[in-house]
Structure 1
Amino acid sequence: MDKGAEDEVSVVDDVSKIVGAVERIDAFPTVDELSEFVDRLAGAVPDRVTVAEIGRSRGGDPIREVLVGSGAKQVVVIGNPHPNEPIGMATIRHLLGRLAADDAQTLDATWHFVLCLDPDGTRLNEGWFAKARTRTGVARGFYRPPAAEQPEWCFPTSWRGTAVGAPLPETRALMRLIDRTSPALIVSLHNADFGGGFFYTTGGDRDYWTGLTDQLTAAGVPIYAGEPDVPGARTWAPGVFELPSFQRIADTLAAEGVEPLAMMYGGGIRDYAASHGTALLVCELPIWVDSRVTDDAPSGHSMASALCSTATAYEEVADIVLGALDRLSDQLTGHSPFERALTDSVRALRGNATAKRSATDSRTATLGEIFIEDYVWVGVARLRAGGMLLRLLDEETRYRPSAEVATERTHFAAIFEKWCTDIETNAPGHPIPVHRLVRIQSSAIITAATRLRDNLPL
């Protein structure tokens, strides 16, 4: 066996040893459950685990950092950057238990685990964390904040001379942590909902990218084969994309005829951490999988026509949501998080429709790409917007009932049921057991950390 092969086997062995066996669980932890776990852990091994409050959310919840290890290189791991993406909280709970048990497993690093970056939004999703996870069931309890209220995308930056970004309290807490630690690596733990798994990195090499996607293959999760969901992202390898800077994202949107500053409200972590030379890893794992996302048979349709169909569907969803909001404008106050999220969804859907329609890709789309457009992008847009609109209407019915709200709810519920029936019939997906998702994310994190220890490119 040559030296390179021996090194690769050593890294794989290190990853397996540190991640260990993952307990079978049926639910994602809530904000309070994860916090209680951390308090118990710190009480049990106070010499190895330190808990600190690094800020407060807009709703007054503490943003908590847990420190493990004492190595020179700093690693920051972020849970729930988007509140509908709870895999990371389960992953953090598992990894904390492993790293706290043995200092030798910390890979010569100091680890900073941010338990939950958006606790306010996460609490609005907790209703589905312990339930049977169906795509339509989760949609009925779904919440995702508007872009301006997403802590991971509100960092200060500029574009073509215009200052951008009004950091939220949660963002400022993360800014302080980054400036205090100058991390060599930041890992942000996301969900990709449905389809296949993928990763964003700021660099690396073929061994690194394969090491990440091998975790998907080992768990039976298909590697996402579509286009990246961040404009301007380049493909490093199948299922691994470059995490682009705000500048590249904005330039790409502008070239597609979309006003960037109408789509984005700040820079990302990459932009803010760039001055520290920080490498980024973003883990995007699906809660449900469907092997059709990898079907490479020709569809008989051009990619441009498929994207145009998606654009039309986006606009239809936007029109339905905006129509409901307009008809109830005299009653809505703007205070509901669901109303703000829906108003932003309309904006984003219209901008994404413009970008999709500008595509000139004349090649024949694969059946997998058609399926992704229909049931990953369009399906997700319908379920997310529809679920939040139904929650808004139910909220109005409870607190400000009126004949107009009742009529609107009856009308939209029929539309939403059709969308749900389409998903349940044609693309329900196969839910991935939580412990397998935790193993994939944990293995990806430790894969990156072993490379950091060994001074390999990230």
Structure 2
Amino acid sequence: MQAADDIAGIVGPIDPISDFPTVDELNEFIDALAGEHPGRVSITQLGRSRGGDPIREVQVGSGPRHILVFGNPHPNEPIGMATIRHLLGRMVADDAATVGATWHFVPCVDPDGTRLNEGWFPGPHTRSGVARGFYRPPAAEQPEWCFPTLWRGRSVGVPLPETKAMMALIDRTRPALIASLHNAEFGGGFFYTCGGDPAYWSALTDRLSAADVPIHRGAPDAPGAHTLAPGVFELPQFVSMADLLTSQGLDAVAALGGGGCRDYTARYGTAILVCELPLWVDARIGDGSAGDRVLGDLLDATAADYHAMAEVAAAVLARVSDRLSGRSPFERSVRALVAGLPGLAVSRQSVPQRQRIATRGEIFVEQYDWTAMLRLRLGGMLLRLLEEECRHDAATALSAERDRFAAVFDQWCADVEQNAPGVAVPLERLVRIQAESILLAATRLRDGLPI
């Protein structure tokens, strides 16, 4: 197996990074790279986004194994775009960095959504600063979760143009590995895989420890994901997630959208690696000492918070419903999140071992990871919706509602900034974790080891 120092050597030095690349900046970088190295870099347009942006594939290397790397499948998660930029530069500079594979990078899967987040890319990278420029589409508009699949005799998943672009690339290359690059705002780091062994899993989480990023030790965000090792989970297929949600009385298709890349690539035996990293960390996340609350009571309080924030947002929407255009992506996202929060509340209350004492880390995560994260996401998008509509409609009722909710959102932000602002992880460390994790999987693939 490739030694840790060899992986680091392949990835090479990473200069300090102060901001995330925008869609246009990344395209300019790719075009310049292809222009300077026409024999080593090829660019293919796989399709266009719903907004007309090109979905581009950048190919480097010429080995028999095909590896796909997806950047920004969720547009609020731009670490992967910086990681792809670094890996492309490394592989063009040194063919050995391709480790004998043909690489296919899709630098930005969702350029439309990414452009709606670019306001916070330059910084300041604070939790409330990101929230004020935040956008995340509802499940049905997330390209990575719109792959077609079958569940209980019905077809689910309506592929978006961006999804169709990924499908075409997958069918053409029949990849041995897909690496999908993600990040959260706050918490610990973790990985999803569909296989591997203890040596692989510990080597992945060693990347987190080396970068001083805590390992996420709670439940994963994918329903029913099986824990392979601390900080490593098996990526579930749609069927198992949908069955679990349905057993909880929830609308699985509304919650999930459709299949993921694991569902679609099952026919090719493709290995999957998903890197989930936080922008901010807090030492309290890993506090395993006994807290002062029973877990069930803690989760019930979380569920109550979810219902309360949904009620706040729903009331705002109701008061301005006659002034909303219905065309805003922020409105679709806010309405979807409001509709989904009761189901998320059920999922929190479905956690087993409710009678035990919660750890201090679990108490902190429930309050300032899950609940605060959702408040900031919901509040940021709702405020952006109201501000957008005010620019097109000077109605007093609309501006008054904007000002009223802005005060509520200011309180949500102040709570987080006072009690859990987090410590920002240097962006170059996050890029290194993702780059080394991908190269770890690629070298194990080359050496015939399970991933």
TM (norm. structure 2) is: 0.98
State how far apart, in whole Å, the 2-side matches of 1:215 and 1:429 are: 20
State how far apart, in whole Å, the 1-side matches of 2:85 and 2:164 are: 24
- Deviation of the 1:360 alpha carbon: 4.5
Q: Which residue of 1 aligns with 2:137?
A: 145
Match status 1:353 vs 2:345: yes
2:325–2:389 CA contact under 8 A, matched in 1: no
Give the unaligned 5+ runs of structure 2.
Answer: none
Letter in 1 for 2:429: R
Q: Which residue of 1 aligns with 2:269?
A: 277
State how far apart, in whole Å, the 2-side matches of 1:102 and 1:351 are: 49
State how far apart, in whole Å, the 1-side matches of 2:186 and 2:373 are: 8
Q: Which residue of 1 aligns with 2:56?
A: 64
Q: Which residue of 2 aligns with 1:383?
A: 376
- Deviation of the 1:262 alpha carbon: 2.8
State how far apart, in whole Å, the 1-side matches of 2:327 and 2:11 are: 43
- Deviation of the 1:221 alpha carbon: 0.7
State how far apart, in whole Å, the 1-side matches of 2:298 and 2:247 are: 20
State how far apart, in whole Å, the 2-side matches of 1:272 and 1:443 are: 26
Which secondary structure does the structure 2 equivalent of 1:263 belong to?
A: helix
Q: Which residue of 2 aligns with 1:127?
A: 119
- Among 18, 32, 36, the alignment partner of 1:26 is 18
Deviates more, 1:279-288 or 1:329-338: 329-338
Letter in 1 for 2:246: A
Deviates more, 1:356-365 or 1:345-354: 356-365
1:154–1:165 CA contact under 8 A, matched in 2: yes
Match status 1:77 vs 2:69: yes
Cα distance, 1:176–1:25 mapped onto 2, change above 3 Å: same
State how far apart, in whole Å, the 2-side matches of 1:360 and 1:191 are: 26
- Among 407, 411, 414, the alignment partner of 1:414 is 407
Matches within 5 A, 1:292-441: 292-361=284-353, 362-441=355-434
Matches within 5 A, 1:167-206: 167-206=159-198
- Among 68, 89, 95, the alignment partner of 1:97 is 89
Matches within 5 A, 1:33-52: 33-52=25-44
State how far apart, in whole Å, the 2-side matches of 1:262 and 1:399 are: 31
Give the unaligned 5+ runs of structure 1.
Answer: 1-6
1:258–1:355 CA contact under 8 A, matched in 2: no
State how far apart, in whole Å, the 1-side matches of 2:256 and 2:105 are: 27
Which secondary structure does the structure 1 equivalent of 2:133 belong to?
A: coil
TM (norm. structure 1) is: 0.97
Letter in 1 for 2:154: T
Deviations 1:267-300 (Å, cap 9, x if unpaired)?
A: 1111001111000000000000101110001113
State how far apart, in whole Å, the 1-side matches of 2:123 and 2:292 are: 40
RMSD (Å), alpha carbons: 1.0
Deviates more, 1:252-261 or 1:444-453: 252-261
Which secondary structure does the structure 2 equivalent of 1:26 belong to?
A: coil
State how far apart, in whole Å, the 2-side matches of 1:306 and 1:441 are: 33
State how far apart, in whole Å, the 2-side matches of 1:391 and 1:256 are: 33
State how far apart, in whole Å, the 2-side matches of 1:139 and 1:427 are: 14
Deviations 1:86-125 (Å, cap 9, x if unpaired)?
A: 0000000000000111222211110000010000000000
- Among 281, 289, 294, the alignment partner of 2:281 is 289
Letter in 2 for 1:97: G
2:81–2:107 CA contact under 8 A, matched in 1: yes
State how far apart, in whole Å, the 1-side matches of 2:82 and 2:96 are: 22
Letter in 2 for 1:236: L
Match status 1:446 vs 2:439: yes
Residue correspondences, number: 450
Letter in 2 for 1:192: A
Match status 1:240 vs 2:240: no
Deviates more, 1:256-265 or 1:169-178: 256-265
Deviates more, 1:119-128 or 1:326-335: 326-335
- Deviation of the 1:62 alpha carbon: 0.2
- Among 95, 110, 113, the alignment partner of 2:102 is 110
Between the aligned residues of both structures, percent identity stands at 60
- Deviation of the 1:359 alpha carbon: 3.6
State how far apart, in whole Å, the 2-side matches of 1:332 and 1:138 are: 24
Matches within 5 A, 1:191-230: 191-230=183-222
State how far apart, in whole Å, the 1-side matches of 2:394 and 2:352 are: 48
State how far apart, in whole Å, the 2-side matches of 1:432 and 1:409 are: 33
